[in-house]
A and B are shown apart, each in its own frame.
Chain A
Amino acid sequence: MSSGVTQRGSRTPRRPRYLPLHVLLAFLVVYFLVPFWWLIVNSSKSSAGLFGGGNALWFSDDIDYGENFRQLFTYGGGIYRRWLLNSALYAVAGGVGATVLAVLAGYGFAKYRFAGRRLAFAILLGAVMVPTTALVIPTFILFAKIDLTNTVWAVILPTWLNPFGVYLMHVYARDAVPDELLDAARVDGAGEFRTFLRIALPLMRPAIITVLLLSIVASWNNYFLPLAMLSDNRLFPVTVGIGLWQSTASTYGAAGGQSLWSIIILGSLISVVPLIVAFLTLQRYWQGGLSLGSLK
């Protein structure tokens, strides 16, 4: 009996007990994967196959990824490729910028007792609760005054504001970077910034990767901000671009929009691949990091 409790490897008595849970879980997985499956299947179809009334959740007779690929990347002078590159630029520039600022500020709040710190931190926590979309219209009007709308900066600069990222870095730095280590480095004559780079930064790595990943996802997935800021479709990220195609295709109805639907579907599929790959390869880091904000 006691050996059965201590040896976690012996799971013969466990299997049948959790069988109903496994079945339930399998159903859930199917539910969460159905939309992906629909995209994979339907991006292989020509518009005839899409509208031909065949099975919506299975391939039609002619699987034609190649033709759809060709159309997607040549439509409108290859604008889709440009949208993907724009998305990558906004995600990397926005995400890296937000993370650098959050790491510095989080460390500053956690490790220095400077004058005005309490007030500044209280304001920061209040800002976590300000909905970001409420800032879009005022920021647009401000940027319009200084001719910054319809440039890449109009999308990148507002994403650098990530108060929750600062809060996460603060929590992590406070617990993971011991003061004694910092003091020892100072006694050895290292300057404040050098101490930060050599001692604190390596210790903060798991939290940095989490905040970086979350910021990149937030900018890659952003829609309201670029939709409001940009009017030149050569600057669109892929989310706004596909939204544009979709509303065009819907307006023209089944008649004119048919050819557009197959590239919208393949375009949607391709646009989700980079982040899925990033999450799968970096899961070791973010799975623990995501619970940071709820720790004491």
Chain B
Amino acid sequence: MTLSLTPSTSTAHPVRAARRRAPARRKNLAGWLFVAPFGIVFVTMLILPLGYALYLSLFRRALIGGTRLVWFDNYVKAFNDPSFREGVSFVIRFSLVLIPVQMAISLAVALMLDLMVNRFARFSRLMIFMPYAIPAVIGALMWGFLYSKNFGPLADISSLVGADAPDFLGSKLIFWGLFNVVTWQWAGYYMIILFAALQGIDPSLYEAARMDGASQWQIALRIKIPLVAPALLLILVFALIGTLQFFNEPKILQPLAAGALPEDFTPNMYAYEQAFNLANYNYGSAISFSLGAVVFVCVYLFLFATRKRGSFLS
């Protein structure tokens, strides 16, 4: 889109450009004025904190000798720290399982809803989207209740078939417990994005395909899915950014899932622990900055590898 570095068209017509210079300069200023308020927030809330985090992360505070410059020692420490490494490994494994399943579900539901044009389909669309409006904290809490041995229905249901209730808050199944919460929360949002993209496709394409004898399956696979590819890519990027910074759900389920969710379960939880429970701001900043860098690099590489005409960032 706009990342290509083609020369601007005004230089191609120097004469015309010169004649218009005065109003052009005024418009130049106007453009900057429109962007400036956001620019100020951008600098103070993003550039400044990031720069400061980078600066802080180069220091270490010791009991003897006070704070001293250690250059990239905190990063060496972080990437050798089993807590940070296991946290990163968890969020990556979690993304690899979660994102494909979540995308498959939302795409399947969007295709179904696109086929069915009636009141029940409209109702279902809203109901499936509903969890998006729920704070992650409350969503995690609701599922925590449902998983709980004290209040949950799992024990009742399992006893009907004579089995022990699965413990989604125990260390064995916590992965799937969290998997379910996140899928429940986000699948509807992704489905709505895909559904809106499907609705934007010109229906005459389907007519033409049907004339050629294509079945609904073929129409879905050959026409609909390729045409919503940009939307799928957008969802994938959002899901990746969201999952790598996983924090709310495990933090909320922590008191309920004693032992299964340690303080260093995800990199963000570990950074929070370092900064706010141990007051170790230098190391906490290094972890935050490393996480941000990992996410940025992952997403950028991914977008670069899949760039296509017409998609986000192409």
Please list the residues of chain A having a beta carbon within 8 angstroms of any beta carbon in chain B: 5, 8, 11, 18, 21-22, 24-26, 28-29, 31-36, 38-39, 42, 50-51, 55-57, 100-102, 104-105, 107-109, 111-115, 117-118, 120-122, 124-127, 129-142, 157-158, 160-161, 163, 166, 192-193, 196, 217, 220-221, 223-224, 228, 238-240, 242-243, 246-247, 250-251, 254, 261, 264-265, 268, 271-272, 275-276, 278-280, 283, 287-288, 290-291, 293-296
Contact = CB atoms under 8 A, between A and B. Distances in A.
A276 B130 CA distance: 7
Interface of B: 2-3, 5, 8, 10, 26-35, 37-39, 41-42, 44-46, 48-50, 52-53, 56, 109, 112-113, 115-118, 120-121, 123-124, 126-139, 141-143, 145-146, 150-153, 156, 184, 188-189, 192-193, 196-197, 199-200, 207, 210, 228, 230-231, 233-234, 237, 241, 244-245, 247-248, 251-252, 254-256, 268, 271-272, 275-276, 281, 284-285, 288-289, 291-292, 295-296, 299-300, 310-313
27 contacts: A11-B118, A24-B112, A32-B130, A36-B142, A38-B146, A117-B31, A127-B42, A129-B237, A129-B295, A130-B296, A131-B245, A137-B53, A138-B52, A139-B45, A141-B56, A142-B52, A161-B46, A221-B134, A223-B136, A223-B251, A242-B138, A250-B256, A268-B141, A271-B138, A279-B130, A291-B200, A294-B311
Contacts, number: 301
B139 to A, nearest CB: 7
Contacts of B153: 38, 55-57
The binding surface of chain A is classed by DSSP as helix
Contacts of A275: 133-134
B34 A107 contact: yes
Contacts of B281: 137, 141
Contact of A135 (B50, B134, B193): B50
A143 to B, nearest CB: 9
Nearest to B120: A22
A45 to B, nearest CB: 9
Interface centre among A42, A100, A120 (most CB of B within 10 A): A120
A159 to B, nearest CB: 9
A218 to B, nearest CB: 10
A290 B196 contact: yes
Contact of B27 (A36, A129, A192, A279): A192
B1 to A, nearest CB: 9
Nearest to B274: A137
